[in-house]
Amino acid sequence: MASSNGVAIKILGKEYQVACPEDQTHSLLDAAFLLDSKMKEIRASGKIIGADRIAVMAALNLAHEFLLMKTEAEDTEHRLQGICAKLDDSFV
């Protein structure tokens, strides 16, 4: 089992210490960079004020992007299953 260590991440200029298994540190840093980038983008638009509101909007945007990608992946999986079924039928 991987041991946990504290990883310092910075989001909107504020540093946070986050416990993270050593083998997932790189993924955590990537996620923090993505979140920080999204939050800076939202803050730069000037339409939303306050770190908490910016964080909620960033979370909603990321969740929306995730769900779109998940739906696309599921659609692709169904198409591939259909292609495999047609291939299987053609070899019978």
- Contacts of 62 by beta carbon, 8 Å cutoff, 6+ apart: 34, 35, 38
Tally the domains of the chain.
Answer: 1
In one-letter notation, the amino acid at residue 91 is: F
> What are 12-62's pLDDT values in tens digits?
999 999 999 999 999 999 999 999 999 999 999 999 999 999 999 999 999
pLDDT category at 2 given cuts 50, 70, 90 is low
Is pLDDT at 1 greater than 60 in this prediction? no
pLDDT in tens, 62-85: 999 999 999 999 999 999 999 999
Give me the domain span that covers residue 38. 4-90
Cα(3)–Cα(24) distance, rounded to whole angstroms? 10
CATH number, domain with residue 25: 3.30.160.880
Q: Which two tokens stand for residue 91?
A: 């070899």
**SS3 of residue 6 by DSSP:** strand
pTM score: 0.77
The pair of structure tokens assigned to 21 is 């298994």
